[in-house]
Amino acid sequence: MNGWSNEIASEIFPMVLEGFWTVLKVTFVAGILAIGLGLVVAIAEQTAPAWVRRPLSGLMQFIRNTPLLVQALFVWYTTSLYINPEWSAFAVGSVVLGLHYASYTSESYRAGIEAIPPGQWEAATALSLPAYRTWGVVILPQMMRRSTAAVANWIIAMFKEVPVLFAIGVFEMIAQVDKYQGLHYAGALEGYTIAGLLFLAASYPVAVATRRLENRLAKSHY
């Protein structure tokens, strides 16, 4: 087994960096979906009638309790066969990842909503505030303060799971390393090391900032 090669590392680095930009783009698209759809689901589970709320809750449970890889493969092959074979792996993978993590962010939002003191709801009712005002002015601002750090942690976790989408053809960092290795029969050590360092360089500062935000928000509740 060959050891580390600086020559191979310098040759493979641009490919891994290209894959890293793909990871960032997938995370951005999927993150917007996870944040927005998770909020919609959380509000629907609080306000929608039972015939909407129960199936929606069951769907979220199903998504949370099945592997992301299985979901990605299932959606990729079913969309390719029955809907539109022209859809890109990037688009399908981003949507699947966003939906998967929306099931988690919705729980964080729900916990934030349920942590709001009952007196806040009672005050809104006493003032005869319409529902949109109650949610927009009273509930959501308080919920966001309680949920922001938890949702940010889910986005970090999602960022680290993007390589799973390699299975459906999203050419992120790991896929680029495997491509180089298949062509040159070398580069696994260098490529995976660079990929790991790029993941660390991107996620660690965000994790530290999220922890500080979490501590600050926790103090603001008292």
Question: Which secondary-structure segment (H or E) carries 88?
Answer: none
Please answer whether residues 106 and 143 qualify as being in contact, where contact means their C-beta atoms are separated by less than 8 angstroms: no
What is the reported pLDDT for 2?
Answer: 66
What is the reported pLDDT for 79?
Answer: 92
Joined tokens for residue 155: 């986005």
Joined tokens for residue 167: 């299975």
Q: Measure the CA–CA gap between 97 and 99, rounded to whole angstroms.
A: 6
Is residue 91 packed enough to be buried (19+ CB in 10 Å), middle (13-18) or exposed (0-12)? middle
What is the reported pLDDT for 37?
Answer: 96
Q: How many CB atoms lie within 10 A of CB 116?
A: 15
What is the reported pLDDT for 148?
Answer: 87
What domains lie within the chain, and their CATH numbers? Answer: 6-220 (1.10.3720.10)
What is the reported pLDDT for 30?
Answer: 97
What is the reported pTM?
0.88
Please answer whether residues 87 and 20 qualify as being in contact, where contact means their C-beta atoms are separated by less than 8 angstroms: no
Please answer whether residues 173 and 195 qualify as being in contact, where contact means their C-beta atoms are separated by less than 8 angstroms: yes
Long-range contacts of 89-92 (CB under 8 A, 24+ apart): 89/165, 89/168, 89/169, 89/170, 90/22, 90/25, 90/26, 90/170, 92/168
89: CB partners within 8 A, 6+ apart: 76, 165, 168, 169, 170
What is the reported pLDDT for 136?
Answer: 83
- What are the per-10-residue average pLDDT scores of the chain (222 residues)? 81 92 95 96 91 93 95 94 88 96 95 87 80 83 86 92 92 87 86 92 86 71 52
